Amino acid sequence: MASPPNSGPSAAAAIAGLAAHGIWRLLAVAAPHLAALVVMLETEIDFPSRLGFLLSWGILNFFWIALLRRPALSGALSLSLVVVLILLSRLKHDIVQMTANFVDLMVIDRDSAAFLFTIFPNLRWSVIASVLVILPLMYALWWLDPFRIPRLPALAGKLACLAALVGYSITMPEEAWRGYYDDGYLSKFARSGVTAVSDFVNYGFMESDAVAAERLKVPLFDSCRPKGLRPNIIMVHDESSFDIRQADGVKVPAGYGSHFKSYDGRMRKFLAESNGGPSWFTEYNVLAGLSSRSFGRFSYFVTRIASGRVGRGLPLALRRCGYETLSLYPAFGAFMSARSFQITTGIQHFYDAHDLGAKDVEPDSFFYDKALGLMSQHAPNTPLFVFVYLGANHFPWETRFRPDLTPAWRNTGNEPVVDEYLRRQTMSAADYAAFIAGLKKKFPSEPFLIVRYGDHQPEFSPRLLDPALDEAGIGRKLESYDPRYFATYYAIDAINFEPVKSPAVMDTIDGPYLPLVIQEAAGIPLDPSFEEQKQIMLRCKGLFYACRSGAEARRFNRLLIDAGLIQGL
């Protein structure tokens, strides 16, 4: 029998069409995995981090397959999540010099979203546009995918990858200092999830003893009866400032160092709990009077976690003694939940960069002038507590900040970042002197106690202090809290007031003791929690968390919890 005309070529064309159609479907399955491989090679720098990436990739894929049964769509969803994580991690590193951590998910809050949408006003529309593009693509992959994988093997694969990741993260834990490196986004995020969940199960967000034999009395709000004059109290957050002469070989301008001296000519050390960037660690120290180190791996998120939970602090103690409290903050109030945290500790009037009309980074004089203006509007018979948070000496120091303010400046012969750092310190000292002159002029008869502190050393200080060490060696010293890397300064000044002598006003203190020092120097009666903390300070000679390997801090945290001053941690 004769074949129908052209039947051979038609069949061949049909087979070729089906094959091409199949190839496109196979490519839809393979493409996300090939893209993930490229992403891994670009972002993960060594074998351990790449192993973490692969295990995390397996967990994501098997999760979606167990849910949807379609490998092409599962791969695309996994790739989308990885890309979003990397973009957010890079964004976070640009802002706070640290990549994304699993704890970001554990403590996600409205403030974080508000901060992102504030600094990136078009982000909301970008998110909406991305969703409108991605949804049709996902539907197309759903239709193209020819495979259906049973859920049970997918679930088994997910559990196997998860078990491998847990074992790997426990036997080879990620060093905390690697979080400051701008790489390894997925592997660091995944491994931090293992350690964060483990720590949370073991002791919650904050370390504390299980029980305490003693009990703190909860102070009555109107129980404070100061003897003598109540001075206005001003606390100045001197951004990234320390006496750079701690490092050998640095040339400093004439007169350098006087800024670090107190009214009595003494130079005192302030041991911060961070180095190089996270000012909010010290913000927690000086407002709550507690240690960020008690939060372990969660310490990076301390102000976000403490917001609404830690109802104890310097502003609250001063309000009990009739003070009105206000704060001037150089960034947006949603950053690291600064506004809600400071209100939790007793700040009544919080002014952020938007409220103050700040445009980008402002010199210290901007905030001092704003403080003088706000204080002028205040009722004269009520003492004030004013927290002035400065930002001009913040990184980067590779660029010259407001050169017009120092026309006579001459570099001292150090590397450029060090000379720029010294120039900004010189600006800060001059602005502070002008602020003191302004206080004397505007309030000639009012008493003031002014306490300044350096919140942390600049990020380049470790290589000045130990130029022979590599990054890993410096990282180990940071993890062990080498005091040389955390020592800044605190200084006490006064106008129309004689600071009260106290054994608590030591030459070297841990950051959490500064609220106690301020109250003692001002002659403010201590509430029971600060009275107890004073006894710890005297026993431990100015150390707090480091005293008895954290035992004193854990006991004190339990006392505050039992007194209802800390909740939900």
Q: Report which secondary-structure segment, H or E, holds 424.
A: helix 416-442
Q: What is the model's pLDDT at position 551?
A: 95
In this structure, is residue 209 part of a structural domain?
no
Final residue in a domain of this structure, among 159, 187, 203: 203
Alpha-carbon distance values, 21 to 34, 146, 471 (Å): 20, 11, 52
Residues 118 and 245 in one domain: no
Strand partners, 493: 450
Residues 199 and 238 in one domain: no
Q: What is the model's pLDDT at position 183?
A: 83
Contact 14, 35 (CB under 8 A): no
In this structure, is residue 62 part of a structural domain?
yes
Q: Report which secondary-structure segment, H or E, holds 530.
A: helix 528-540
Residues 261 and 383 in one domain: yes
Q: What is the model's pLDDT at position 18?
A: 40
Residues 192 and 250 in one domain: no
In this structure, is residue 477 part of a structural domain?
yes
In this structure, is residue 289 part of a structural domain?
yes
Q: How does pLDDT run along the chain (569 residues), one tens digit per residue? A: 444 444 445 545 444 444 444 576 677 678 888 888 998 998 898 888 899 999 999 999 999 889 888 887 888 888 888 888 888 888 777 766 678 787 777 776 665 655 555 545 555 556 666 666 666 766 666 666 767 888 898 899 999 999 999 998 888 777 666 777 778 888 888 888 888 888 888 888 899 999 988 898 776 556 677 777 899 999 999 999 999 999 999 999 999 999 999 999 999 999 999 988 789 999 999 999 999 999 988 888 899 999 999 999 999 999 999 999 999 999 888 888 899 999 999 999 999 999 999 988 899 999 999 999 999 998 778 999 999 999 999 888 999 999 999 999 999 999 999 999 999 999 999 999 999 999 999 999 999 999 999 999 999 999 999 999 988 888 888 888 999 999 999 999 999 999 999 999 999 999 999 999 999 999 999 999 999 999 999 999 999 999 999 999 999 999 999 999 999 88
Which of 48, 49, 50, 57 is closest to 158 using CA atoms? 57
Backbone phi, psi, residue 366, to 5°: -60, -50
Residues 181 and 38 in one domain: yes
Residues 259 and 179 in one domain: no
* Dist CA 18 CA 354 (whole Å): 62
Final residue in a domain of this structure, among 182, 203, 224: 203
User: Dihedral sign, CA of 202, 204, 208, 214?
Assistant: negative
Contact 440, 433 (CB under 8 A): no
* Dist CA 231 CA 449 (whole Å): 6
Measured in whole angstroms, the distance separating CA 68 from the mean position of its chain's CA atoms is 38
In this structure, is residue 494 part of a structural domain?
yes
The CATH number of residue 390's host domain is: 3.40.720.10
In this structure, is residue 208 part of a structural domain?
no
* Dist CA 306 CA 300 (whole Å): 11
Residues 318 and 194 in one domain: no
Q: What is the model's pLDDT at position 549?
A: 92
Q: Mapping DSSP to helix (H, G, I), strand (E, B) and coil, where does residue 238 land?
A: strand
Looking at the structure of the chain, the number of domains it has is 2
* Dist CA 295 CA 305 (whole Å): 9
Largest CA distance in the chain: 122
Residues 269 and 181 in one domain: no
Q: What is the model's pLDDT at position 425?
A: 97
Residues 416 and 537 in one domain: yes
* Residue-range definition of the domain harbouring residue 403: 232-448+456-562
Contact 552, 568 (CB under 8 A): no
Which of 78, 77, 42 is closest to 58 using CA atoms? 78
Q: What is the model's pLDDT at position 301?
A: 87
Residues 318 and 180 in one domain: no
Contact 461, 247 (CB under 8 A): yes
In this structure, is residue 412 part of a structural domain?
yes
In this structure, is residue 569 part of a structural domain?
no
Residues 194 and 303 in one domain: no
Residues 341 and 434 in one domain: yes
Final residue in a domain of this structure, among 166, 187, 203: 203
Contact 82, 57 (CB under 8 A): yes
